[in-house]
Amino acid sequence: MGSVFSRGFAVGLLSCLLAITSPVLAARDFTAALQQRLAGGVNTPQNDRDSQDLATLDKFYDQRKFAPAWIDHGKPTAKAGLLLTALQKAAQDGLNPADYGVARITTLMERGDSPDALAELEVLLSHGALDYGRDLATGRLAPMSIDSELYVEKREIDTLALLNRLAGVEDAGAELSALPPRRSEYQHLKGALQQYRELAAAGGWKPVPMADMSLKPGGNDDRLPALRARLAVTGELPVDAPVPEDPTLFDDATIEALKTFQARHGLEPDGVLGKQTLLALNITADQRAAQIAMNMERWRWMPIDMGRSYILVNLAAFHLSIFDQGNVVHEARVVVGTSSTRTPVFSRKMSYLEVNPYWHVPAKIVRDEIFPKAKKDPSYLAKQGYELLSDWSETAVPVDPHSLDWAHMTRLPYRVRQVPGDKNSLGRIKMMFPNEFDVYLHDTPSKNLFNRANRSFSHGCIRVEHPFDVAETILRLTGTVDWPRTRLDEALASGQRTIVRLKQPIPIHISYVTAFVANDGSVNFRSDIYGRDRKLATAMRASRVKWDAVEAEARLAPGGAAAGRATDSGTR
């Protein structure tokens, strides 16, 4: 009897000890598995940035003494579920959930209960949170690494602080949702992205057949039914618009709808169904959605604080806006560089204006344009208001063009400048924000160019329509009260070069945005005049890397047999 009792007591005592020690042993096994995974980097993406992330993760867990952030008592917590939900919604911001390990995380959330599987889940959740948070806050790519004409430094964030913050709140998803740009432009694009993805999912639109001849208003064409159907999908033509008795007639309603489409796509709104309009009509909904997503990436590159008052130029839309406390207070059309003299993307501060400016002609323009004309006719210089100076110093003296031996000259070894006046290529005013590209805003004598839809005609500078209205707004916003419009007009009338220094500099941001939502809520697209969409798309595809396929076993119970292996070939 005593022997039986002793054996029963021993078994019971052993069961109690196992119940106490099993969680301790499991925790110890988890910690060891976590340390091993961090040391080896198993199942984390393999590129330079992710090597840095691994160091951040190691520091994060070292500070926590390797206590998990997303696992508790051998199971993923509710916080882990909320984080996974946030990662699954990455597509809403134009990002790919697969890039953050969503497929593998989902598998481990459902089946991972061995120490190694739980350690893998813990690391993937932390890395996904870190990677996704950074992409939302500062963009996926470094602009200068993908395009030499994007002089935009990628903002850096404290990834360790971000990870600590995400781990310290109950809902990491809510914290992540506050990281993207809060600007209305970004939020409107987010809605447009959903709209065009829904259009694509519903089948998009059928292409309008191409033809050699343009279709002008009032004509007839068998493509009219297809054109009406296309314009109805994106709302330029109301779905209940009446169809003429002859469905091949290019009627007024369809003409006006086509003009609206052209205006929304940066085309000449002439109502003519020509090649460029057809190409724009036949870009697919999927392609437009991708274009929107790329422009959301561009907004993530922009400074968080663009200034209380600032100037924003969109090169792709040939448009300038002046903002004050978040509101647009002035707008103007602009002319930008040609495809061979592209205007770069950068930010600076405007510090002064120059009324009746001289134009110091760049050497390349002197070599390629002015010298050949002057060699044929030395009087060309005087006719165009150009003068020759002996050098670039302050003491330079004028050189008489008629004293030169043009027949034997192979280059023009003098400084060329154009005097103030109506023929001056800079017009009557320029607005300066010192930069290494020698780019600035200025007036122009070629006023007719502002009536064009495509306005890429300059050598790289930005020509502004109604520049004195722009200048007046800048003077007001910078507190330059000693220069009212009347004094500005007086300086203009004097014909003398006059410098107007701003009381405080105003930021100017030169951007390149090919998709945006207009004030009327319509989604607008612009042509990729400089090929920068193409470069960005290529870089975004190239940025995706394979996730390591090595995975932990997902066991049904501690010490049990392997239930099998799931695979995650998701890419980033």
Active site residue 442: yes
Contact of 454 with 269, CB cutoff 8 Å: no
DSSP 8-class letter at 29: H
Active site residue 461: yes
Handedness of CA 370, 372, 374, 377 (dihedral sign): negative
Q: Which helix (H) or strand (E) holds 149?
A: none
Q: In whole angstroms, give the CA distance from residue 45 to residue 92.
A: 23
Residue 312 Cα distances to 148, 436, 441, 513, angstroms: 21, 19, 12, 11
The residue from 265, 319, 330, 461 that is catalytic is: 461
Q: In whole angstroms, give the CA distance from residue 145 to residue 134.
A: 17
Listed residue (504, 477, 519, 523) closest to 329, CA to CA: 477
Q: Could you count the other beta carbons within 10 Å of the beta carbon of residue 164?
A: 14
Kind of pairing, strands 415-418 and 386-389? antiparallel
Place of tokens 């052209």: 262
User: What is the rounded radius of gyration, in angstroms, for the C-alpha atoms of the chain?
Assistant: 32
532-558: b or e for each residue (b if 16 or more CB lie within 10 Å)? Answer: bbebbbebbeebeeebeeebbbbbeee
DSSP 8-class letter at 114: S
Three-state SS annotation for 439-501 = CCEECCCCHHHHHCCCCEEECCCEEECCHHHHHHHHHHHCCCCCCCHHHHHHHHHHCCCEEEE
Chain centroid, CA 8 distance in Å = 72
What is the token pair recorded at 114?
Answer: 């061995």
Q: Could you count the other beta carbons within 10 Å of the beta carbon of residue 421?
A: 12
The phi, psi pair for 75, rounded to 5°, reads -140, 150
Handedness of CA 556, 561, 566, 572 (dihedral sign): positive
Q: Could you count the other beta carbons within 10 Å of the beta carbon of residue 433?
A: 20
The residue from 265, 330, 442, 509 that is catalytic is: 442
Partners of 509 in the β-ladder: 312, 347
Q: In whole angstroms, give the CA distance from residue 109 to residue 112.
A: 6
Q: Which of the residues are catalytic? A: 442, 461
